[in-house]
Amino acid sequence: SLTHTTGGSEPTLSTEVDDPSHPLYHHRRIVSDFDYGDILGEGSYSTVLIGKDKRTGKQYAVKRLDKAHIVKNNKVKYVMIERDALSRMNHPGIVKLYWTYKDNRSLYFVLDLARSGELYTYVRRLAPFDLETAKFYAAEILLAIEHIHERGVIHRDIKPENILLDDSMHIKVTDFGSAKIIDENNQQEGEDTAGTRSFVGTAEYVSPELLRSDRVSKEADMWAFGCVIYQMLSGKSPFKAPTDYLIFQKIKNLEYVMPDEFPSAAKDIIQKLLTSDPEQRFGSQTLGGIQAMKDHPFFDGVDWENIFNLTAPPLK
């Protein structure tokens, strides 16, 4: 079970799996099973390091989370959700969680290493991507989102910074720290988040329904996906502004410019994704779900079954 116990004066926080039926229970690992190397990234509550399995030599990204900091800032719930959401995932386009372990100070998540870093870096350096490249990455991102949703999770922070690239330049979606786990039976909000509609995610990619404090559903990830396609083709996100407040104004007013030079199929899919009403947004169940998106002319020629085995288009 997931425990957050306050024994004596020392708060302890554990993400260890003590349920033998849980996929993470077997082959338990400890801190000393790995050699730690370079820092890959740092967040407010965590550091990601390269970790090499001493037995196999295989390298991973090890996310080390500071327990005291998490407890002090009331982030225990989010760490648990991140672990639970990640452990549901099994897809080539999503960072896999192999093991979790802990020591006195920290929790550790052992993840797929995505050596080529963030899609964000390539968008900044190389955008506009040509249509073939944008189509390829959009297709991989869509398959990853499809899997996330099929496994009962809303990511809620889809953006180029959270789309990593592996050695062969295929994507790995990461950072489930803002995710929401949907009740499998009725697809309603879980009790943990029902009623609490605090802002999660990143201003530039936030959906209008979240700003209206409507219920947030899977379609919020589709909005963000539309922002990412726009960004790959233009170099900037559609609702860019100097402050979060001005970004929110633009999103509420659906105030973005569709560049003339975008191919017409791209204009069409972006416009269908950047739709204010989530029920009228492309990808929603009423509009045929993700299958309808795969059938859109923007994705003409995509080999959906095989894309993760193909050679990625060159990002010079």
Which residues here bind ligand ADE, judged by CB under 6 A?
40-41, 48, 61, 95, 111-114, 164, 174
Shortest distance (Å) from residue 178 CB to ligand ADE: 15
Q: CB-wise, 153 or 269, nearer to ligand ADE?
A: 153
Residue 104, SS3 per DSSP: coil
CB 61 within 8 A of CB 4: no
Task: State the catalytic residues.
Answer: 157
Shortest distance (Å) from residue 269 CB to ligand ADE: 28
Shortest distance (Å) from residue 113 CB to ligand ADE: 5
Q: CB-wise, 162 or 234, nearer to ligand ADE?
A: 162
- By residue count, the chain amounts to 316
3-state helix, strand and coil shares in percent for the chain, rounded to the nearest 5: 35, 20, 45
Shortest distance (Å) from residue 210 CB to ligand ADE: 25
Displacement of CA 100 from its chain's centroid (Å): 19
Helices (H), the chain: 67-72, 76-88, 119-126, 131-150, 208-211, 219-234, 244-252, 264-273, 289-294
- Give the C-alpha separation, 169 to 166, whole Å: 5
- Give the C-alpha separation, 86 to 8, whole Å: 31
Q: CB-wise, 47 or 193, nearer to ligand ADE?
A: 47
Q: CB-wise, 95 or 182, nearer to ligand ADE?
A: 95
Residue whose Cβ sits closest to ligand ADE: 61
